[in-house]
Amino acid sequence: MNEVIQVFLGILIVAVLHLLIFTILGKLVFGGISTANYGFGIIYLFAVLGIGIVQLIYVLPLIAWLKRQQQWGLMRGVMIGAILTALLNAVCYLL
């Protein structure tokens, strides 16, 4: 596969992972709303606000796995997607 296509696919993988992680986290936190879930709501809020840091939990193992598989184009795309996410998150804090 063309390396440019792999890079764009890596960026898309990161975007889909973000949607998947925060959808699952949102369902866990807000699925059974009760008065006892305030602590989880705070965790979800910090995860959404700090996505640039939270993404390290699932992006770094993905990068390591892609490196072992020698998928250089996908690895670059995942790194670019993670950097774009962190930069967009930082810009939101500056506004």
Q: What number is the average pLDDT over the span 66-89?
A: 94
State mean pLDDT over 77-85.
95
The residue ranking higher by pLDDT, 92 or 61, is: 61
Q: pTM of this prediction? A: 0.79
| Residues 25-71: tens digit of each pLDDT | 777 767 665 555 566 667 667 766 778 778 888 999 999 999 999 99
Which tokens hold the place of 67? Answer: 């490196």
Q: Are 73 and 7 in contact (CB under 8 A)?
A: yes
36 vs 12, which has greater pLDDT?
A: 12
CA atoms within 13 A on the CB side of 78: 19
Structural domains of the chain, count: 1
- Residue range(s) defining the domain that contains residue 32: 3-94
- Determine the pLDDT at residue 33: 59
